[in-house]
Structure 1
Amino acid sequence: MAAIVGRTSKQALLRAKSGLVTPQANFVSFKKLSTGKKVVVAAAGAAVAGGVGLAVALNQAVIAADLELHPPKYPWSHHGMFNAFDHGSIRRGYQVYKQVCAACHSMEYLCYRNLVGVIMTEEEAKVEAEDIQVTDGPDEEGNMFQRPGKLSDKFPEPYPNSEAARAANNGALPPDLSYIVNARHGGEDYVFSLLTGYCDPPEGVNVKEGLYYNPYFPGGAIGMAQALYNEIIEYEDGTEATQSQLAKDICVFLKWAAEPEHDTRKKMGLKAIIIFSGLIAVSYYLKRHKWSVLKSKKIAFKK
């Protein structure tokens, strides 16, 4: 009886050992695979590793994003496939930029000629350009001189260089506003929320001297003081200049500055939809009534 039990246990142990798979056996079996299968296995391993890395990175991004207040979505009138800019809002936004923002922020990629046909006539734009003095030259004697601005001139810069801009703003460099809407995550929603989101820091949050608390700015501490207040300027068209109205108009103006071809692009898209709709109808007719006859013919070979 003991001999039978001993033989049975040995056989079970041998079966268990034969079922074990060692790393060396895995390596040998991988070497026996064909080149194509090795490539597939390697690609699958790389894809799994990349997926794990992406999941970890996204998780870290979500954790970091929880520290910032994300701007809400606003119903901008120019959003939508067939919606154009509110040019009255663009004109008011330019007034806000000129009287409030231009003291610190430049728009070096915008010229006075860009205003023609959008918010001003050519004569109005010429008068607007002549209000500035531009350094030009040299003249026949080799000297630089000052002249009134022209339509081809760019908007004037508030500071002669970046060092002067930093010195005037406690070390912070005011960004150029030409493409600021497209350069910030959230676009107009972020800029609007930033301009209207200044408040006192919550309890336990300390803001350094010279900085201001804004929950929409990354980190919460921003070097720019609140710039927009109710009735800080008087609109030429009589619109009530509340803080939200000022922020809305400057956002629309900055969006137009970043995408001056916005309305033209949508017009071309509408024309393309109309043209391609006609071409689709013609293509369907040719496919249904012309080519169907040829495609349905049967070729028979007679002996």
Structure 2
Amino acid sequence: MAQSLSIVQKAGIGLGALFCVTVLWGAVQPREEPPYDPVKAHHEHPEQIVWSHNGIGNLGVTGTFDRAQLQRGFQVYRQVCSACHSINRVAFRDLEALGYGEEQVKVIASEYEVADVDSDGEPTTRPATPADKFPLVYPNEAAARAAQGGAYPPDLSLITKARHDGTNYVRSLLLGYRDEVPEDFAKPDTLWYNPWFASLAIAMPQPLIPDAEQVEYTDGTPMTVENYATDVAAFLTWTAEPKLENRKETGLAAIGFLIIMTFLGYLSYKKIWRDVKKGKPA
């Protein structure tokens, strides 16, 4: 029995030593260079800028939306983006959070048509009301692809949540169209080169044209593509997180409450155990 156990032990030690040698051998072997990927080589990360809703230090813990910026962003969306992209998760009455009055919201809603049925049950349309959501640009994905040459323009309601570093990503993407394409990147003729897009080749034509002054801001803000992209990115951040400010306020209140309760608990601990530590009964 002792001899059999010794053989088992020796076999275990041998296998362990073989495993260690194999691991060490793999560690010292030269690594093979991964194949060159022009997409990874030329892909750019979003430019980081300061946003009012990210608060102090751009950390996202505090901060509030700039209402004037949100209204400008909504203006850019309506005049540029809404031709292809919907924001179907947003109701017209939600626009009151941007600083629009009730009557203004009614006027904005009345400019849109939404699906309805008549008294006979037949499909029809009617002017939207504040209770309605922004209508879809296309009735379904097939219709959207047919109108866009096979590309599918996504709904933008949650786009900044669906993309990493969404607010900065949207802004960088809108400003990222380039005429010069790297020689080692084969771009299809039907697509546009944009190093901020995942595949570098995007089906959406450049929506913001430099020096075109596509949107006339009513508050006098300079009409530049940088301002257009920044403002619409902020607006789409709001559509994705309309309760962002409330969430931050609740979080800060909860942290303040926990700090106060921790301090009171410490004082209670000191008072209750003070005499016990001195050897006196509590």
What TM-score do the two structures reach when normalised by structure 1? 0.75
CA deviations on 1:25-44 (whole Å, 9 max, x unpaired) are: 324899xxxxxxxxxx9xxx
The corresponding residue for 2:68 is 88
- Does residue 1:290 correspond to 2:272, yes or no? yes
The corresponding residue for 1:257 is 239
The one of 134, 142, 149 equivalent to 1:170 is 149
Distance, in Å, in 2 between the alignment partners of 1:72 and 1:193 is 6
The corresponding residue for 1:198 is 177
Q: 1:86 to 1:23 in 2, by over 3 A?
A: farther
Distance, in Å, in 2 between the alignment partners of 1:28 and 1:271 is 59
CA deviations on 1:177-211 (whole Å, 9 max, x unpaired) are: 01111111221111111100111133524422221
- Does residue 1:25 correspond to 2:10, yes or no? yes
CA deviations on 1:245-269 (whole Å, 9 max, x unpaired) are: 0000000001011111111111112
- Does residue 1:107 correspond to 2:87, yes or no? yes
Q: 1:137 to 1:220 in 2, by over 3 A?
A: same
The corresponding residue for 2:3 is none
Distance, in Å, in 2 between the alignment partners of 1:68 and 1:23 is 55
Distance, in Å, in 2 between the alignment partners of 1:96 and 1:22 is 79
Q: 1:64 to 1:294 in 2, by over 3 A?
A: farther
Distance, in Å, in 2 between the alignment partners of 1:82 and 1:69 is 28
CA RMSD of aligned residues (A): 3.0
Distance, in Å, in 2 between the alignment partners of 1:22 and 1:193 is 66
Contact 2:45 2:196 in 1 (8 A): yes
Moved more, 290-299 or 277-286: 290-299
Provide structure 1 residue ranges, at least 5 long, that are not aligned to the other structure.
Answer: 1-20, 31-40
What TM-score do the two structures reach when normalised by structure 2? 0.80
SS of the equivalent of 1:116 reads helix
- Which is greater in Rg? 1
The one of 181, 189, 200 equivalent to 2:160 is 181
Equivalent pairs, count: 254
Contact 1:191 1:251 in 2 (8 A): yes
Q: 1:22 to 1:102 in 2, by over 3 A?
A: farther
Which amino acid letter does the alignment assign opposite residue 68 of structure 1?
Answer: H
Distance, in Å, in 1 between the alignment partners of 2:40 and 2:164 is 12
Q: 1:23 to 1:74 in 2, by over 3 A?
A: farther
Distance, in Å, in 1 between the alignment partners of 2:152 and 2:135 is 17
Provide structure 2 residue ranges, at least 5 long, that are not aligned to the other structure.
Answer: 1-5, 56-60
Which amino acid letter does the alignment assign opposite residue 76 of structure 1?
Answer: W
Q: How does 1:59-138 map to 2 (within 5 A)?
A: 65-80=40-55, 81-138=61-118
Contact 1:170 1:210 in 2 (8 A): no
Distance, in Å, in 2 between the alignment partners of 1:265 and 1:76 is 17
Which amino acid letter does the alignment assign opposite residue 257 of structure 1?
Answer: T
Identity of matched residues, %:
40
Which amino acid letter does the alignment assign opposite residue 198 of structure 1?
Answer: Y
Contact 1:201 1:207 in 2 (8 A): no
Q: 1:148 to 1:290 in 2, by over 3 A?
A: same
Distance, in Å, in 1 between the alignment partners of 2:144 and 2:177 is 23
Q: How does 1:1-16 map to 2 (within 5 A)?
A: none
Moved more, 205-214 or 93-102: 205-214
- Does residue 1:269 correspond to 2:251, yes or no? yes
Distance, in Å, in 2 between the alignment partners of 1:119 and 1:26 is 77
Contact 2:87 2:134 in 1 (8 A): yes
